[in-house]
Homo-oligomer: A and B are copies of this chain.
Amino acid sequence: MAENEIAELVEETAPPEEGEQLDEENRLKPEFVDAVIGALAVGDEGRAYDLVEPLHPADLADLFELLQPDQRRALARAITDLMTGEVIAELNDYVRDGMIEALPHAAVAGIAEQLDTDDAVQLIEDLEPEDQRAILAQMEPEDRAAIESALAYPEETAGRLMQRELVAVPEHMTVGDLIDYMREHEELPTEFWEIFVVDHKHHPLGSCALSWILRAPRHIALSDVMKRDQTLIPVGMDQEEVALRFQKYGLISAAVVDESGRLVGQLTVDDIVHIISEEAGEDALLMSGAGEGDINEPIRDAYSARVRWLVANLGTALIASLIIAMFGAAIEKLVALAILMPIVASIGGNAGTQTMAVSVRALAMNQLTRSNTRRIIWRELRVALLNGATIAALIGVATALIFSPLLGGVIALAVVINIITAGLAGVAVPVLFDRMGQDPAVASSVFVTMITDSMGFFAFLGLAVASGLVG
């Protein structure tokens, strides 16, 4: 067989069918990823191209994230024409920044011009200011102006996130006029879900879901089908707030207005779902002190975020040690105290973390407000009493049997005291941080752990001394 024929045969069998790349949970199969890596390793760019060509842009982005940095660059070289704006927009921030930094400014400018404003902004917002300027200088003036005005808004605000592309029409239009207008104007965005009706000052008056327009007769005025009751998003609103509004009111898109109430952009739910997921998922990371907790984050950043937290926890552990040191003489006399004391602290820490996780989530979802704080504290106190009684009975009886009844009573009482303390601290600490305008997920757990550790050792060792068990 001639080489050509073999190449043709390979060509025909190469493109994998749907289902060859993804497993049942929609993840790229390791064998598929290995095949791409193998093709890149032997320099067979054609084979790599054929393998990844059938992938959806979002899956292609996932593939890049699974590769090592040098493999990412090799793949990008092999499939330049598949590297669409959609792929770039779907990439993890760190992976994208790493790849963008390796590209010449003109290439980045070319990619940015293909994208909607919001995605283009995301593409360059984390680059160094001089790189940003160099890239912007190579873009069309109109695109550049849109990006520059978006960059003028603070990070993580509606102004940064919004698309400037939208359909805004005057209220005197009829449904028929609008359909004609949309058919004639090719520069309109390709996908949108609602149109906005504005007055002569460009202030939004209402919005129309496209389904209403499609179902209304041509002669009906837009002002008769539009919904006047809108959720307007101020341009400076924080993305967390934006995400909550979309969730609460079930929005598909929303008008963004500037300080004077003019319509300046729109937000659509497909951009917001990422933020909803990010904001909801970050609490677990923040409470553990893992910073952004992104597995693509550079090691340096991960280290600096986490070590700060560990140092803070070292401080709280030292406070606990000071309390133990106060009772050094008692421990020397009765080593059982040293054996049992971590149990009291550990159970209290767990109970505190439970209550804290519940409170932080309820605060984030605006379910825990001044109106029901007292009721929730009372609720947690009752749960703590039940938990405390159960655990105290278990450990109390076991200790009584193994060591002595008095020590069993001491540890049982200490456990009850510490679980109740944990329940109160688990609500009160996050609520106090929230009222002080701090993110309750960030700082609460250092304080709650400090309280439950200290109280655990103090209650147990203190009761042991007070009960006459030692000395």
Contact = CB atoms under 8 A, between A and B. Distances in A.
A118 interface: no
Contacts of A193: 193, 209-211, 252
Contacts of A362: 295
A433 interface: no
Instruction: Place the interface of chain A in its size category.
Output: 35 or more
Given A270-B252, A270-B269, A273-B269, A288 B357 contact: yes
A313 B347 contact: yes
A168 to B, nearest CB: 14
Contact of A331 (B244, B245, B321, B335): B335
A309 B354 contact: yes
Interface stretch (A8-16, A100-108, A136-144, A365-373): A365-373
A277 to B, nearest CB: 5
Interface stretch (A62-70, A73-81, A126-134, A198-206): A62-70
A338 interface: yes
Contacts of A368: 295
Contacts of A345: 342
A322 B229 CA distance: 65
Interface in A242-286: 244-252, 269-270, 272-274, 276-278, 280-281, 283-285
Contacts of A332: 332, 335
For the complex of A and B, 9 pairs with smallest distance between CB atoms: A284-B284, A280-B280, A210-B210, A280-B281, A338-B338, A250-B270, A288-B357, A30-B370, A290-B354
Interface of A: 25-28, 30, 33-34, 56, 58, 62, 65-66, 68, 90, 92, 179, 182-183, 188-193, 209-217, 229, 241, 244-252, 269-270, 272-274, 276-278, 280-281, 283-285, 287-290, 293-296, 299, 302-303, 306-307, 309-311, 313-314, 316-318, 320-321, 324-325, 328, 331-332, 335, 338-343, 345-347, 350-351, 353-362, 364-372, 375-376, 379, 382-383, 386-387, 390-391, 394-395, 419, 449, 453, 457
